[in-house]
Chains A and B, each alone.
Chain A
Amino acid sequence: MRDTRDLSDKELIARLEKAAFSYFAENADAHTGLIADTSREGSPCSVAVVGFALSCFPAAVAHGWLTRERAAAWTCKILDFFESSEQSDDPSATGYKGFYYHFLDMRTGKRVWNCELSLIDTALLIAGVLVAAAFFDSDDSGETRIRQTADRLYRRIVWSWAQPGDGTFAQGWKPECGFLHYGWEGYNEAAILYILGLGSPTFPLAAQGYEAWRMTYQWENLLSHNVLYSGPLFTHLFSHAWIDFRGIQDRFMRQKKSDYFRNTQETIALHREYGRRNCHEFVGYSENLWGITAGDGPQLGEMRAHGRDRRFFGYMARGVPYGPDDGTIAPWAMLATLPFGEAAALAGTRHLLKRYPQVCRDGKFSSGFNPTLVIDGQGWLSEGWYGLDQGLLLMMIENHLNESIWRLTRRSPYFIAGLRRAGFAGGWLGDDG
């Protein structure tokens, strides 16, 4: 196989996309169809990763990595599993009120690790379910069944139940203690959660919930860039993997004469500038080596290097510019910004692969890499792969190349209803606000 450095941009992207999809096939349970959170031994299923996988199946069909029939069968298996799984307040159930626990046993589908009933992970799963419903649009009985099941799964979610306080969504719920008390304020990856919650014809999120969330936004000039601030890069990508925010605006963005797509572009410029300045003197950081986000990282506590103490945070939502930052980047993140700027995404990815080729094994990017912390002569590298990283990367490549996921959700009535109820208008959505 040719070295990635010898590939054209098109060839490089194609290889990385195909390898990313291979994660799902390599880490699925044959019985339930569920996908593992990571490739590590014994990893449970992450319902969000399942949502990403469902969203990637159409691309796999288009590229010939899966037949349409095989994709439909896998999708059907997953949807059937969720529909028939236990929905109750029993601590070992699969979900409750239409939501699902963050992590499930791969074989039984039951809750593991005493994890939370996760709103955002349910939203990412259900986004994938709705992509499947939009893609499998034939009269074939299997595809018809997919659409019907997807509709039932979406309609049974009691979004309104998960607004326990000021109208904003809770971050989660546990049968042992009720709604989690974590602060989840400020702009973040939850846009898709609010939009899907608002779009429900059965148990929608109360309209003031989106406004209450918007009240926590911070519009800032940071490192000479005007951004709706959120520190970790993934928060500017997740919702965009499904929703084409180009040219559509809610009230906030109308006021700022911007949109969420341009905000991500500006945030990417901010991340590159942060890398260029490299204020904490981490090894490798530059305008072509960035990508500070949530992900795996070294968990070694403290070390002393170059006359200063360094602390490492393990799995953490790292952010720019306020931190936390321990010198760990997510190798996949730069390429995942392709739709927002091809030149920066490719320049960074090529620089990374040239200088640190070990971050891409078997064609798949690892979750975290820290060149500041040298172990056995090389920078610290996360073990295995994470499904979220692979799914997000594939979806962003697809949206960049042919907008295939965006085209599906642009015709999903639930996405459209949610966007409109959140006050979005203009662009492809019409009804200029």
Chain B
Amino acid sequence: MTDDVKKIKIREDESYLGRVRPGGWTNPTPRGRYDLAVVGGGPAGLAAAEAAARGGHSVALIERHRLGGNSLNAGSVPSKAIVSAGRAFADMRHAEDFGAAVSRNPKADFAAIAERMRRIRARIAAQSSAEMLASSGIDIFFGDARFAGPQSFVVGGVEISFAKAILATGARPMPPTDIPGLDAVGYRTSADIFDLPALPNRIAIIGGGPLGCEMAQALCRLGAHVSIIQDDPKFLPREERDAAEILSRCLARDGVEIRLNTTVTGARLENGVRVLETFNNEIRLDIEAELVLLSIGRIPNIEHLELDRGGVASDTKHGIIVDDSFQTSNPNVYAAGDVCLDLKFANAAIASARMASANALGGAAHSRQDMLVPWCTYCDPEIAHIGLHVFDAHELSVPIKSFTVMMHDIDRAITDSQDAGFVKIHIEDGTDRILGATIVAERASEMINEMAVVMGAGIGLGALSGVIHAYPAQSEGIMRAALAYVQQQKGTSCPKKPETDNSPIVSSSSPAPPRASAGPSPCALPRKAPNSD
């Protein structure tokens, strides 16, 4: 690294830290009893504090480490920056398919990749910097918070009293269980994987959840030899089998060494190399790596809060126990985000925080049951889901039918050579009520939001078929799934696709948008969700 680059890096790090944890920060003197005290400055805490401040309430925000929480500092933001770098390298390797005479083996400058990631993180940190929050009237306290009583915290020896409080302390990577030797040989988690100084040659990832799969593919694409070890028969255990199997093949296509159904039974150091001892049925295999990434789930951060003093009930598995209004066992204390939700995603955290804030301060009656949360695993292709899965519906005895369109039948996916995946929309069989959807596509994270709007508005699959979509676009898959439903109702065959660009697709069978289904929102159905790690 040149001196100039080092200076830039230092400036970037300073700007980042200056936003999330300014050096020399002095906590303010508490302004009497706050209308709302928020513990945790991640997505949930920030959303709750900002909403309360906008409403004219006095707000104290307490953060023990850095504003932005896991999402900004060690989660969604840095991981997506690395994923996008990996995608760029994959595109370069396939540039020949598009007629570009470039090397199929571009060399990765990991320092530059990490620098870009830090730059992105600093830029996004500016959106909720300490300075900006303070200027909006929020009192920010850095330090560990613990309950001093039912309506007060202690932070750095200073008591902060409140009328209402929201606990939004998030979650952290789950430590290893039953892997003898792993602590001794050392490993990283999502908390510190993004501080890597260089890209190791060999990486072993334990855990095939969303983060494990994303990092496996991205780091492999950047040039590392990556092994991913999952004790389940498939990746993303809570996603649909077809989606997980496509992902598995795409990881293998990219060169990731896949070890499904495999348990890590031990770890040791051998000549300075980390060796994971694995067991698959009767086969024992050693996997060598310079870096071990542990990604087996997340656990709520509750230990330091001294919840008993605050009269807040919790358990180690679910974290803080809340009712549907996010109220804890202490009627003046609410919780939001990863610390109390099964859905450990930033969007769910923000939505829950806004609901909790409104319920706590405004007497609103927002219910957790109203949350309809889409989520996505950002591999290539992306895997996004909303609502019920097939197995959820079976458990609830809801008859379910899926309308599926393969991406290799979608023109835009073909033109972009991104035709792996599908759009699958689940309805209650015999009706057009949409229960859920799974999308596997290059930008499933964008496409699933259409399903969120449709489901949130209670629009049925029949009505969706009448919505004209841009052509060509991958979201055409959604409309064609809806058309398949309508065609089935009419017992007709599949219509032809338009032959020219710029020709909007109009449902030939439904010239006027049909009436939206009158059924209740699927939000009324209980949902199950995977852990985010």
A182: which of B249, B261, B403 is its contact (CB, 8 Å)? B261
> Known contacts being A224-B487, A277-B409, A279-B409, is A323 close to B241, with CB within 8 Å?
no
Specify the chain B residue showing the minimal Cβ separation from A180.
Answer: B281
Measured in the bound complex, the distance between the Cα atoms of B409 and A177 in whole Å is: 43
| B423 CB → nearest A CB, Å | 12
Measured in the bound complex, the distance between the Cα atoms of B488 and A279 in whole Å is: 23
A218: which of B245, B390, B408 is its contact (CB, 8 Å)? B390
A interface majority secondary structure:
loop
Q: What are 10 of the A-B contact pairs (CB < 8 Å)?
A: A176-B282, A177-B282, A181-B281, A215-B391, A219-B401, A222-B404, A226-B401, A255-B429, A279-B419, A322-B422
Given contacts A186-B241, A279-B408, 11 further A-B contacts (CB under 8 A): A181-B233, A181-B281, A215-B391, A216-B394, A219-B402, A220-B401, A221-B401, A221-B403, A277-B409, A279-B409, A308-B417
List A contacts of B304 (CB < 8 A).
Answer: none
Interface set, chain A 148-205, CB cutoff 8 A to B: 174, 176-177, 180-183, 185-186
Measured in the bound complex, the distance between the Cα atoms of B281 and A110 in whole Å is: 20
| A321 CB → nearest B CB, Å | 5
Report if A262 contacts B (CB, 8 A): no
Report if B323 contacts A (CB, 8 A): no
Total interface residues on A, CB under 8 Å, equals: 34
Report if B400 contacts A (CB, 8 A): yes
Write the residues of chain B forming the contact surface with A, with a CB cutoff of 8 angstroms: 94, 97, 231-234, 241-242, 245-246, 249, 253, 261, 279, 281-282, 390-391, 394-395, 399-404, 406, 408-409, 417, 419, 422, 424, 429, 484-485, 487-488, 493-494
> Known contacts being A183-B233, A221-B404, is A307 close to B282, with CB within 8 Å?
no
List A contacts of B402 (CB < 8 A).
Answer: 218-221
Interface pair B404/A174, CB less than 8 Å apart: no
Specify the chain B residue showing the minimal Cβ separation from A320.
Answer: B406
List B contacts of A186 (CB < 8 A).
Answer: 241
List B contacts of A183 (CB < 8 A).
Answer: 232-234, 241
B394: which of A215, A226, A277 is its contact (CB, 8 Å)? A215
Report if A311 contacts B (CB, 8 A): yes
Measured in the bound complex, the distance between the Cα atoms of B494 and A339 in whole Å is: 27
Interface pair B282/A224, CB less than 8 Å apart: no
List B contacts of A321 (CB < 8 A).
Answer: 406
Interface pair A255/B485, CB less than 8 Å apart: no
Measured in the bound complex, the distance between the Cα atoms of B283 and A180 in whole Å is: 12
Report if A324 contacts B (CB, 8 A): yes
> Known contacts being A224-B493, A308-B97, A311-B253, is A174 close to B403, with CB within 8 Å?
no
The 10 closest A-B pairs by CB, nearest first: A176-B282, A183-B233, A279-B408, A215-B394, A220-B402, A221-B403, A322-B242, A224-B494, A177-B282, A177-B281
Report if A5 contacts B (CB, 8 A): no
Specify the chain B residue showing the minimal Cβ separation from A172.
Answer: B281
Report if A280 contacts B (CB, 8 A): yes
| A159 CB → nearest B CB, Å | 22
> Known contacts being A174-B281, A186-B241, is A219 close to B400, with CB within 8 Å?
yes
List A contacts of B241 (CB < 8 A).
Answer: 183, 185-186
Measured in the bound complex, the distance between the Cα atoms of B241 and A431 in whole Å is: 36
List B contacts of A226 (CB < 8 A).
Answer: 401, 488
B261: which of A181, A223, A279 is its contact (CB, 8 Å)? A181
Interface pair B282/A322, CB less than 8 Å apart: no
Measured in the bound complex, the distance between the Cα atoms of B420 and A311 in whole Å is: 14
| B65 CB → nearest A CB, Å | 38
| B446 CB → nearest A CB, Å | 22
Specify the chain B residue showing the minimal Cβ separation from A278.
Answer: B408
Measured in the bound complex, the distance between the Cα atoms of B406 and A97 in whole Å is: 44
Interface pair A255/B403, CB less than 8 Å apart: no
Report if A144 contacts B (CB, 8 A): no
Report if A114 contacts B (CB, 8 A): yes
Interface pair A307/B97, CB less than 8 Å apart: yes
A324: which of B233, B249, B281 is its contact (CB, 8 Å)? B249
Measured in the bound complex, the distance between the Cα atoms of B280 and A114 in whole Å is: 13
List A contacts of B406 (CB < 8 A).
Answer: 223, 279, 321-322
List B contacts of A280 (CB < 8 A).
Answer: 408
Interface pair B494/A323, CB less than 8 Å apart: no
